[in-house]
Amino acid sequence: MNVILIVLLLLPLVGAAVTLVPGLFGADPAVAGRRALRFGAAVTGAALLASVVLAVGFDRGHSARMQATTDLSWIPALGVRFHLGVDGISLPLLLLTTLLTFLCAVYSLRRLPDGPGTPSPRAYTGLLLLLETGMLSTFAVLDLLLFFLAFEVVLIPMYFLIARWGGENRGPAAARFILYTLLGSAIMLLGFLLLGLHAGTFDMTALAHRHGRGLSHTTQILVILSIGLGLAVKAPMWPFHSWLPDAHTAAPTTGSVLLAGVLLKMGTYGFVRVLLPSAPGGMATLAPYLAAFAVVGILYGSLACLALVRPGAKGDLKRLIAYSSVGHMGFVLLGIATLTPTGVNGALFANIAHGLITGLLFFLVGALKDRYGSVDLDRLTASAGGTGAALYGRAPRLGGLLAFAAVASLGLPGLAGFWGELLAMFGSFHPAAGLSRSAYLVFMALAGLGTLLTAGYLLGVVRRVCMGDPAAPAEPSAEPRPSSAGPAPLPSSGLLDVQAHEAAAWTPLVVLTLVAGLWPAVLLGLSNPAVKALLGGS
Amino acid sequence: MTALATPMAGSLIQSIDWQAVAPPLITAVVALGVLVAELFLPTRHKPLLGWISVAGLALALLSLVPLRDGTRATFCLRTATGAADRTACSYVADHFTLVLQLLVLAGALLAALLSMHTVKDDSLPPGEYWFLLLSSAAGAALLPAARDLATLVVALEVASLPAFALVGLRRDGKGGEAALKFFLSSVTATAVMLLGVSFVYAATGSLHLTRIAAALPQAQTQLKTLALVGAVLTLVGFAFKTAAVPFHFWVPDTYTGAPVAVAAYLSVVSKVAGLSGLALVAVVGFHPYGRTWGLALAVLAALTMTLGNAAALRQRSDTPHSAVRLLAWSSVAQAGYLLVPIAAAGYGSATARDPLGATVAYAMIYGVVNLGAFAVVALIAGRIDDYRGLFAARPAAALAMAFFLLCLAGLPPGVIGLFGKVVVFRAAVDSGLGWLAVIMAVNVVVALYYYLGWTAKLFQPAPAPVAPGAPEAPGTALRIPVPLTLCLGLAAVTGVVLSFAPELVLQITSGSLFG
């Protein structure tokens, strides 16, 4: 078992190193590029296989226990141990990571942004694999400093994915992404050091076992403030979210999918894995504030989306989904802030659901962008006489999938988005003992309002993108377009429907969204014992 | 060495532990040998001098091996009974000394490899160049071993005086101006330091650091101010060498005026020498004033890293020599990080860990990656904008440069740079300097902006050649000189190995370095 976990982490790392070997993929750049992409798909596929094997071998009866553990001394001078393991909390996230990375690699076989100034596919493959290494390690390591290292590993590849393969305004967006995250994580490192030096160990399992014993209340508060800042930037929690919309708008499709699908989860995972068990006293004090910020995030995210979906707002669909992520991650944070098993389970479920659904949404929007050249809602609508982009009529399967993803995202019962948010609100109906119930009831009511708003803007998206008269001619643009600098008119007919490679990348996400929605016990049964153990058997 | 070590009574002959003093001694002897040999060598054999110097430095490095126990000392004072007093020696080869000598000599070795083609291309006088480089290295190697103020001052001057000449050796206007600027500010600092040393001697009656530390608390009340002023003035002199604020303004002009190899040497060897002197004087000599200089150094560290980074941020990438200037400002900022654990040592942490180890470990990491970065700059030189498209033209050099820059920034894949920062942060958090740790964290993020901007340039597509007259790489430029390759390879391999096994360097931080 532990060999499989190590193999899982090493595969992408070695793969990334292999892409650096000069001349390996042949001399002809075009052929070498294709081979590199196939190599990437093969390695990520192997990683997916390894993670599936890991899941099959996982003892579901003891999901609270760390399994497939490796514990070796790495840097004795710092007390850093090479400590790996998976439990019911990290296993689903590992699977999500390998799945999404593999799907991205498959998708990129056909749809990699290219053009003048875009680097070779080989570099892309190398960065994707390095990114996967970082993401997987984040969920698999059990040492605070290793966790920090893994947290940082993802920055450079994601920076280059945005800065080199991104759309317009990519340079500033990428710089903003990395500076925000790094500022958070530098403070987080100080928190880790404070925690580790006061507790005498950097080992997460030992820290969880101790449940904050031996840490003064002040220390716990300081630890949570500093570590929480780093995690909150990553999650992102309002008001530290402002890097996210820019990064998503500029990132290439696969970058967006992995950013929303996995990178954001690293923040909330840190809350559950590190902060909840290591500093419970401090969490009890600060949880209401966390919940308040989370609820503000929910409302803020959905209001921003509502503003973007209005006609004439020039709302970019990618930016809209990015803001919706702020709202969805607000639910996750609210669940964590209840400090109850129900709420934390809901948070973890919502994590996975958001990864599946938003991954799918970003894939779909990327496909729209490929076809129309823009995902500006106004321009999409204008392409069909102003009533709507009429995707149902022109590309029925694409339109249907988009509508499916949208209703899954708004939390329709029976789909994955439903359970996580419901449980998070359940959790805040009965918050942990010692937390002010009336405050949490207000939070719950506001979060409920947030679900309504979410439904409002997502249905608005469906109406404006999917519906409309396919036969209507393109409306002449309302404003006079400058003759040379203006964007080219959007094609109004002859849209390609879902292609084979797209279907291959999207089907697993659709299926899993259904499975998680109809049979939530698969995930909850895994996470529940581990959550209870982390919360101290409450 | 100094005449102070001779005893007042008994035999005037004292036994010298030649093996303990071998590292600086070998370097100095080879320096003289090279200078003399140049007179007799025919011109076509002159390049041999460089290899002789490299061999000499390698030999000096080897001479560290028998000392690895860290228990040797020589030039000791006598006690009343006539036996050698092992606590008051002028030359001590403990672990602090050995690690820093390793760093200084290895840094000088890499700088020497870096210099080989500079000496040839710029037709610098080889005999003089190698003599000056080795003399300076000998001084820098002596400095960490020195345990009395007179030896410290002498060693510091031996390390600095040849450096002025090295900077000015390229006989154009720029080199001269750079050397003069460097010389004047350095001499002022030395004068101030000597004044401080005399005050301390007046107040305590001793030049040996351990005896000063013992005498300071018992100083007569009317001499207390004198002792404190003396201590401050002494520290100022060493702060100059480390290019701490406000003694940092000479750095960029001096670095750009000097040959790149000399700039690399100054940024690592000179800086580390100054730093070891500062650490010795502060931690060993002025230990009783720990709180005072601890706070002063903490403020100094915060200012140094902030101003260094702010200046680096403002450095435009399209001006001539912007690459060296950026590295110069970055080295100022890095000096700020290096000062943090020394400041922490003033607060005397509760744990058994010696914060100084963090400085030494970080200095080693910084030395390796900074020399590597300078090696790439020596290869490409010029403006940061010239680095655009380097990955397409020379993938290996570009990858190495990216690795060095990310190590300096402290971001994976530069793992060792990250852990270097971690030990510095730990030293600060350990001793309760939380505010300094936060300032440093912000600075690390700010610094990332320019390091990453440079790294990103490496992978951008090369600009289309504008005019045929532009200084495009001529055919010969594609060949990298062998010594340069060797230097680059050594730095890169060391960096990568350390990234996989950080324990190799970080073990320094786990125990006490003295005794």
Contact A139, A97 (CB under 8 A): yes
Q: In whole angstroms, give the CA distance from residue A209 to residue A536.
A: 8
Looking at the domain assignment, is residue B203 inside a domain? yes
For residue A400, give how far its alpha carbon lies from the nearest alpha carbon of chain B (Å): 40
Q: Does B266 touch chain A (CB under 8 A)?
A: no
> What is the distance in angstroms between the CA of the first residue and the CA of the last residue of chain B?
22
Residue-range domain boundaries for chain A: 1-187+234-266, 279-477+493-538
Q: Does A145 touch chain B (CB under 8 A)?
A: yes
**In the A/B pair of chains, how many CB contacts fall below 8 A?**
93
> pLDDT-based confidence at B414, cuts 50/70/90?
confident
Of residues B287 and A472, more confidently modeled: B287
Do B281 and B298 lie in one domain? The reply is no
Q: Does B461 touch chain A (CB under 8 A)?
A: yes
Do B186 and B251 lie in one domain? The reply is yes
Looking at the domain assignment, is residue B16 inside a domain? no
> pLDDT-based confidence at B389, cuts 50/70/90?
confident
Q: Which of B241, B260, B285 is the last residue of a domain?
A: B285
Q: What would the DSSP string read from start to end of A208-245?
A: HHHTTTT--HHHHHHHHHHHHHHHHHHTTPTTS-THHH
Q: Which of B397, B353, B405, B362 is nearest to B378 (CA)?
A: B397
Q: How many CB atoms lie within 10 A of CB B174?
A: 15
CB contact under 8 A, A77 and B434: no
Do B390 and B369 lie in one domain? The reply is yes
Kindly report the backbone phi and psi dihedral angles of residue B359, in degrees, each rounded to the nearest multiple of 5, phi listed first.
-60, -45
Q: In whole angstroms, give the CA distance from residue A341 to residue A346.
A: 8
Read off the pLDDT of residues A249-289 as tens digits, 9 standing for 90 and up: 888 888 999 999 999 999 999 999 999 998 888 999 999 99
Read off the pLDDT of residues B423-452 as tens digits, 9 standing for 90 and up: 999 889 888 888 999 999 999 999 988 998
Do B407 and B493 lie in one domain? The reply is yes
> pLDDT-based confidence at B73, cuts 50/70/90?
confident
> For tokens 């990519």, what's the residue?
A170
Do B309 and B212 lie in one domain? The reply is no
Read off the pLDDT of residues A485-503 as tens digits, 9 standing for 90 and up: 344 445 545 677 788 888 8
Do B303 and B383 lie in one domain? The reply is yes
CB contact under 8 A, A78 and B418: no
Give how far Cα B260 sits from Cα of B116, B118, B150, B178, B310, Å: 11, 8, 32, 13, 23
The pLDDT of residue B216 is above 90: no
Do B262 and B340 lie in one domain? The reply is no
Contact B169, B129 (CB under 8 A): yes
Q: Which of B285, B307, B336 is the last residue of a domain?
A: B285
Give how far Cα B283 sits from Cα of A196, B275, B296, B352, Å: 27, 12, 13, 15
Looking at the domain assignment, is residue B119 inside a domain? yes
Looking at the domain assignment, is residue B154 inside a domain? yes
3-state secondary structure of A84: strand
Q: In whole angstroms, give the CA distance from residue B193 to residue B231.
A: 9
Do B281 and B385 lie in one domain? The reply is no
Read off the pLDDT of residues A287-338 as tens digits, 9 standing for 90 and up: 999 999 999 999 999 999 999 888 877 888 889 999 999 999 999 999 999 9
Contact B143, B277 (CB under 8 A): yes
- CA angle, residues A497, A503, A506, in degrees to nearest 5: 120
CB contact under 8 A, B425 and A193: yes
CB contact under 8 A, B506 and A183: no
Q: Does A77 touch chain B (CB under 8 A)?
A: yes
Instruction: Give me the pLDDT at residue A537, please.
Output: 55
Q: For residues A136, A141, A144 and A146, what is the CA-based torsion angle, rounded to 10 degrees? A: -70
For A77, the closest of B437, B445, B510 (CB atoms) is: B510
> pLDDT-based confidence at B478, cuts 50/70/90?
low
Instruction: Give me the pLDDT at residue A47, please.
Output: 94
Give how far Cα B322 sits from Cα of A93, B315, B385, Å: 45, 7, 9
CB contact under 8 A, A186 and B449: no
Structural domain including B315 reads: 288-462+479-515
**Worst-scoring range by mean pLDDT, A302-311, A475-484, B222-231, B268-277?**
A475-484
**Burial of A226 from C-beta contacts in 10 A (0-12 / 13-18 / 19+):** buried
Of residues A89 and B463, more confidently modeled: A89
CB contact under 8 A, B445 and A77: no
Q: In whole angstroms, give the CA distance from residue A109 to residue A117.
A: 19
Which residue from A minimizes the CA distance to B432?
Answer: A194
Do B423 and B447 lie in one domain? The reply is yes
For residue A316, what are the β-bridge partners?
A376
Q: Rounded to two decimals, what is the model's pTM?
A: 0.89
Do B101 and B153 lie in one domain? The reply is yes
Q: Which of B285, B312, B327 is the last residue of a domain?
A: B285
The total number of structural domains in chain B stands at 2
Spatial CB neighbours of B1, under 8 Å, sequence gap ≥ 6: B75, B90, B91, B151
Q: In whole angstroms, give the CA distance from residue B108 to residue B269.
A: 7
CB contact under 8 A, B449 and A175: yes
For B445, the closest of A76, A119, A186 (CB atoms) is: A186
> For tokens 């970055």, what's the residue?
B330
Looking at the domain assignment, is residue B513 inside a domain? yes
Spatial CB neighbours of B32, under 8 Å, sequence gap ≥ 6: B131
pLDDT, mean over chain A:
86
Q: Which of A151-155, B167-171, B181-185 holds the top average pLDDT?
A: A151-155
Instruction: Give me the pLDDT at residue B89, please.
Output: 86
For residue B442, give how far its alpha carbon lies from the nearest alpha carbon of chain A (Å): 7
pLDDT, mean over chain B:
85
Q: In whole angstroms, give the CA distance from residue A386 to residue A260.
A: 31
Looking at the domain assignment, is residue B5 inside a domain? no
Q: Does B202 touch chain A (CB under 8 A)?
A: no
Instruction: Give me the pLDDT at residue B464, please.
Output: 64
Residue from B354, B406, B419 to probe the interface with A (highest A Cβ count within 10 Å): B419
Looking at the domain assignment, is residue B474 inside a domain? no
Do B349 and B208 lie in one domain? The reply is no
Q: Does A136 touch chain B (CB under 8 A)?
A: no
Instruction: Give me the pLDDT at residue B9, please.
Output: 45
Looking at the domain assignment, is residue B413 inside a domain? yes
Do B256 and B271 lie in one domain? The reply is yes
DSSP secondary-structure letter at A271? Answer: I
Contact B273, B159 (CB under 8 A): yes
